Amino acid sequence: MALRGFVAASIGYDNANDDLKGDVANFCQVGKTKGNEIVQGSTSALAALCAMAEADCSKGVAVAGHSQGAFITMFSTISDARVTAQLILSAGTADGDMLCVVDAPDRCLYNAQMSNGGLNKAKRRYIIGNDDLIIGGSPANNLQSMKGISGYDCGDSLDCIQVDGSGFFIIKGADYKNATCDKVGHSLYGTIDPINSDAQLVCDWLSPEKFALAANFDWLAATAMTSGAPPTQVSLTFEGNPIPCAASCPAEDLDVCKFIELAMMTLIGGVVGGVVCCCCCVGCIIALVCYCKRK
């Protein structure tokens, strides 16, 4: 975004849920609470950025986020009206693995609610993996989720990007050309999820496709600016060098619900086995006592 004329920053925040001290009714509450902390008020990160001599926030504020950062992004404009465009990656509603941890976001993220005091749907763009287990749990749920939160319905099409660039795109494995990918899950762009120092960008995220980095940031910059236009054909380089990438698929999702279910079954099996074992031992002791008494 810096190459597109913006003062760009990455905001650090605790991405665990326990930092809300139990106040995690759902991911809407997460977004509201952290969105307020990051963009609202004189001590917020946005206030610090807007106070910089290089910045003029009256010209527009673009916000983007992935996963929990995406939920925060969705509420950023409700927290501060200076936010003029949002790029939302891997967020939504429905019945994914996050239900094993917190309640579902439900309809509080739907277009009707997000447009009330927030941005018009023409200022929002959503990207998600077709096989995201964390958010939707299934391709059908992810499609239904995107329709609900974006306000656009393109039938069965996974490409619902509008003429103005808003809308949603659901990435399938076949959309990635640099590797043979059966699925695209929660991590759209990285070889490891959660991202760490060993992670690499997947090369398809650096492609010219409409779901990839360049197209998303081009749209975000152009939509956020209240006047003028950002530079076009921005090169994907860092300090003059091509951005390194891996010709591989993004990281696969861990099916948390199945893991928890398996752990519970193992625990229950262990308890039942222990009870049965104890019953056997007690039965043997009783039989031995009876045998001794008979003798």
Count of the separate structural domains present in the chain:
2
pLDDT at 289: 37
For residues 201 and 189, give the distance between their C-alpha atoms in angstroms, rounded to a whole number.
6
Q: Pick from 163, 123, 129, 161: which is nearest to 143 by CA?
A: 129
Q: Which domain holds residue 211?
A: 2-242
Would 99 be classed as within a structural domain?
yes
Which distant-in-sequence residues (6+ apart) come within 8 Å of 107 by Cβ? 93, 113, 148
Tokens of 133: 């287990």
Would 247 be classed as within a structural domain?
no
Residues 264, 157 share a domain: no
Residues 157, 279 share a domain: no
For residues 202 and 116, give the distance between their C-alpha atoms in angstroms, rounded to a whole number.
36
Residues 98, 52 share a domain: yes
pLDDT band at 200 (very low <50, low <70, confident <90, very high): very high
pLDDT band at 240 (very low <50, low <70, confident <90, very high): confident
Residues 284, 192 share a domain: no
pLDDT band at 177 (very low <50, low <70, confident <90, very high): very high
Residues 266, 188 share a domain: no
For residues 128 and 211, give the distance between their C-alpha atoms in angstroms, rounded to a whole number.
9
Residues 223/85, Cβ–Cβ less than 8 Å:
yes
Residues 236, 260 share a domain: no
pLDDT at 287 over 60: no
pLDDT at 179 over 70: yes
Between 293 and 143, the more confident residue is: 143
For residues 208 and 214, give the distance between their C-alpha atoms in angstroms, rounded to a whole number.
7
User: DSSP string covering 234-283, please?
Assistant: ---EETTEEPP-BSSPPPPPP-HHHHHHHHHHHHHHHHHHHHHHHHHHHH
Q: Where are the alpha helices (DSSP H) in 42-128?
A: 45-50, 68-79, 111-115
For the chain, give the mean pLDDT.
Answer: 81
Most confident segment among 15-24, 143-152, 166-175, 238-247? 166-175
pLDDT at 215: 95
The amino acid at residue 263 is: A
> What are the backbone dihedrals phi and psi of residue 167, each rounded to the nearest 5 degrees, phi first?
105, -150
Would 250 be classed as within a structural domain?
no
pLDDT band at 294 (very low <50, low <70, confident <90, very high): very low
Identify the H or E element spanning 62: strand 61-66
What's the pLDDT tens digit per position in 87-140? 999 998 865 655 554 445 557 788 888 888 788 999 999 999 999 988 888 899
Report the pLDDT averaged over residues 12-32.
64
pLDDT at 98: 56
pLDDT band at 265 (very low <50, low <70, confident <90, very high): low
Residues 94, 29 share a domain: yes
Residues 264, 152 share a domain: no
What's the pLDDT tens digit per position in 204-231? 999 999 999 999 999 999 999 998 888 8
Identify the H or E element spanning 127: strand 124-129
Residues 133/97, Cβ–Cβ less than 8 Å:
yes
Would 161 be classed as within a structural domain?
yes
Whole-prediction pTM: 0.83
Please name the residue that has the structure tokens 């018009």. 120
Would 249 be classed as within a structural domain?
no
Residues 259, 143 share a domain: no
Residues 182, 59 share a domain: yes
Listed residues 200, 221, 242: the one ending a domain: 242
Would 120 be classed as within a structural domain?
yes
pLDDT at 295: 43
Would 115 be classed as within a structural domain?
yes
* 190 secondary structure, DSSP code: B
Residues 136, 75 share a domain: yes
For residues 286 and 292, give the distance between their C-alpha atoms in angstroms, rounded to a whole number.
10
Q: Where are the alpha helices (DSSP H) in the chain?
A: 27-39, 45-50, 68-79, 111-115, 139-150, 213-224, 256-294
Residues 216, 153 share a domain: yes
Under DSSP, is residue 170 helix (H, G, I), strand (E, B) or coil? strand
pLDDT at 26 over 90: no
For residues 198 and 259, give the distance between their C-alpha atoms in angstroms, rounded to a whole number.
25
Q: Pick from 165, 166, 144: which is nearest to 155 by CA?
A: 144
Please name the residue that has the structure tokens 């262990």. 270
Would 105 be classed as within a structural domain?
yes
